[in-house]
Structure 1
Amino acid sequence: MKTLFWRTLVLIFVVLAGIGAVLPGMPTTVFLILAAWAASKGWPQMDAWLLNHPKYGATLRQWREHGTVPRQAKWWASVMMLMSAIVMLFTPAPFWVKVFTNVTMLTVAMWLWLRPEPMTVLCKEMNSHAD
């Protein structure tokens, strides 16, 4: 039953990542990170496939090993969140929904920019090996 739960979660996250690959404003990498996390809990073959994926594998491995986020991903995520926040302001949603959504996106953006970038981690590792 546990395996079924983790595999279902993996499939949900992979589908959401696929949607994010074609739908502006929807993330891809975040859902792939979540899919890899869930796969590591109960679907080793899918975990290996995600980590060895030609396009996303390196990013997922860097996230898992060092918690890094590439600068380009930070920029894309930030721009998409900003565009989503602006669109949100013009929707008929209640004011508190607009505030909550935009504050949440701002918080995520700040957290994202505080994450190290792959080259920063690589430089630190090279310096530590040189000592």
Structure 2
Amino acid sequence: MHMNNRLLRWLLIIIGLVSTGLGIIGIFVPLLPTTPFLLLAAACFARSSERFHSWLVNHNHLGPMIRGYLDGSGIPLRAKYTAITLVWLTLPPSALLLVPPVWAKLLLILLAISITWYLLRLPTLQEEP
């Protein structure tokens, strides 16, 4: 499904490229998640550029990290662990320390719980030895 709106299409391409860059950096920086950024990039490219989407999914090094999610076989355990850890290191402290309205605090905590539940329910990709 590609966007007909040219501005939105370019915005999605830019977000996809930035996410791909952050995902690549995340390969080398331990606390920066790789797979979630690559999944975001794949989603943006799927809606904006068939060429970029195909390049990412078929890339020798980046593709395997996201193909498991896209085909339903799962995501790596390390990706789950990193994503859940980052959710709990960012959302609850933000809710408790930075957001004044009680409803917003509850919303952020509920979001953290929902994301964690979703990630735990995803199949875990069995990595080859």
Task: Flag structure 1 segments of 5+ consecutive residues without an equivalent.
Answer: 123-131
1:43-69 CA-partner distances (Å, limit 9, x unpaired): 122112211334421022111111522
1:104 has 2:111 as partner: yes
Specify the alignment match of 1:63 in structure 2: 69
- Residue 36 of structure 1 and its aligned partner are, at CA, apart by 1.6
1:25 to 1:3, Cα distance in 2 relative to 1, 3 A: farther
| Number of the residue aligned with 1:128 | none
Larger C-alpha radius of gyration, 1 or 2? 1
Is 1:49 matched up with 2:55? yes
Moved over 4 A (4+): 19-28
The aligned counterpart of 2:40 is 34
Q: TM-score, normalised by structure 2?
A: 0.71
What is the letter of the counterpart of residue 107 of structure 2? Answer: F
Letter in 2 for 1:99: L
RMSD: 3.2
Q: Return the structure number with greater helix share.
A: 1
* AA in 1 matched with 2:117: M
TM-score (norm 1): 0.70
% identical equivalent positions:
25
AA matched with 1:70: P
What displacement does 1:35 show? 2.4
Secondary structure of 2:59's aligned partner: coil
Deviation string 1:46-94 (CA, Å, 9 cap, x unpaired) is 1122113344210221111115221111111111111113422542412
Distance in 2 between residues matched to 1:26 and 1:79, nearest whole Å? 11
